[in-house]
Chains A and B, each alone.
Chain A
Amino acid sequence: AQSVTQPDIHITVSEGASLELRCNYSYGATPYLFWYVQSPGQGLQLLLKYFSGDTLVQGIKGFEAEFKRSQSSFNLRKPSVHWSDAAEYFCAVARSGTYKYIFGTGTRLKVLA
C-alpha cells in the first residue's frame, strides 16, 4: 500500500534562512507527487507537482522540490524563507493515473522574525 511520511511535525526557522521539508513515500513504481500548503483558515494550495521528467521541480512562491527515486523522497526546499511562509505543508502521493491522493500528516512551519 502507498504511504507518505513527513517525519517533522514542527519546524522553526528564522526569516531569511533556508528551508527543507522532508517527505518520504512508499510505492513500487514512480508515483505522482505533490506539495500543498495550508495557511490558517484556508484550503490547501498546490505548490508544485511531479509526474515525470526533470526530477527538480519548480513551484510557486519560490519553492522547489527534488524527486529522488533511490531515496523514495520528494523534499521541499526554499532558499530564503519569508514570514508569510508560516503555514502547514502537506506532501501527497498518488499512483500514476489515479485520483486518490495519500497525504502525509503535515509539517507545521514557524518563521521567526
Chain B
Amino acid sequence: GAGVSQSPSNKVTEKGKDVELRCDPISGHTALYWYRQSLGQGLEFLIYFQGNSAPDKSGLPSDRFSAERTGGSVSTLTIQRTQQEDSAVYLCASSSGQAQDTQYFGPGTRLTVL
C-alpha cells in the first residue's frame, strides 16, 4: 500500500514569509508525528496527534510553529514568519496508534529560508 507522503518535497522561502507543509499518513493510521532534522542533528520531535485526543505540542520550538490534523488524516505544519534557523528537513511519520508500533516515515520536506 501507499506509504506516508509529504508535499512539497522542497520549499524555498524568504525570511518572514509563512509556509505550510503537508503530510498524508498511511491510511488507517491514527497516530501522526512531525519531526525536524537539522544539518548535523538528530531528529527533533515536534508534535504528535493521536485520534481525537489533544495533540502533544511539547516539541514545538516557538509559537511561530503550529500544526493541525483535519478529519484524523491529513496534517499541515505551519511556520509563520520564517527565520533562517527554521531551515531543515521536516519529516512526518504515522503509526497504527499503539505506543510500541513502528513509526513509518515520509520522505520529508526540505525547507530553505533565505
User: Could you tell me if A106 and B42 are in contact, using CB atoms closer than 8 angstroms?
Assistant: yes
**A45-B102 contact in complex given A99-B95, A103-B43, C-beta closer than 8 Å:** no
When the two chains form the complex, which single residue of B42, B48, B104 contacts A4, counting CB atoms closer than 8 Å? B42
Mask: chain A, 1-37; 1 = CB below 8 Å from B; 0 = not: 0001000000000000000000000000000100010
When the two chains form the complex, which single residue of B33, B95, B107 contacts A42, counting CB atoms closer than 8 Å? B107
Asked if A112 is at the interface of the complex by the 8 Å CB criterion, the answer is no
**CB neighbors of A among B64-103 (8 A):** 91, 93, 95, 99-100, 102-103
User: Could you tell me if B91 and A101 are in contact, using CB atoms closer than 8 angstroms?
Assistant: no
Mask: chain B, 21-39; 1 = CB below 8 Å from A; 0 = not: 0000000000101010000
In the complex, what residue of chain B is closest to A99 when comparing beta carbons?
B99
User: Could you tell me if A43 and B91 are in contact, using CB atoms closer than 8 angstroms?
Assistant: yes
Mask: chain A, 64-100; 1 = CB below 8 Å from B; 0 = not: 0000000000000000000000000010101011111
Asked if A41 is at the interface of the complex by the 8 Å CB criterion, the answer is yes
User: Could you tell me if B48 and A99 are in contact, using CB atoms closer than 8 angstroms?
Assistant: yes
Q: Which of A4, A43, A92, A103 has the most CB of B within 10 A?
A: A43
Minimum distance in angstroms from A34 CB to a CB of chain B: 8
List the A side residues contacting B107 at CB < 8 Å.
Answer: 41-43
User: Could you tell me if B42 and A43 are in contact, using CB atoms closer than 8 angstroms?
Assistant: no
List the B side residues contacting A94 at CB < 8 Å.
Answer: 99
| Cα of A56 to Cα of B68 in the assembled complex, Å | 39
| Cα of A32 to Cα of B100 in the assembled complex, Å | 8
User: Could you tell me if A44 and B48 are in contact, using CB atoms closer than 8 angstroms?
Assistant: no
**A101-B99 contact in complex given A43-B4, A43-B106, C-beta closer than 8 Å:** no
List the A side residues contacting B56 at CB < 8 Å.
Answer: 100
| Cα of A22 to Cα of B49 in the assembled complex, Å | 31
User: 12 extra interchain contacts, Cβ-Cβ under 8 A, other than A99-B31, A103-B44, A105-B41?
Assistant: A4-B42, A43-B91, A43-B107, A46-B104, A49-B102, A94-B99, A97-B99, A99-B103, A100-B45, A100-B48, A101-B103, A106-B42
Q: Could you list 15 examples of A-B contacts with CB < 8 Å?
A: A4-B42, A32-B100, A46-B102, A46-B103, A46-B104, A90-B43, A100-B48, A101-B45, A102-B42, A103-B35, A103-B42, A103-B43, A104-B42, A105-B40, A105-B41
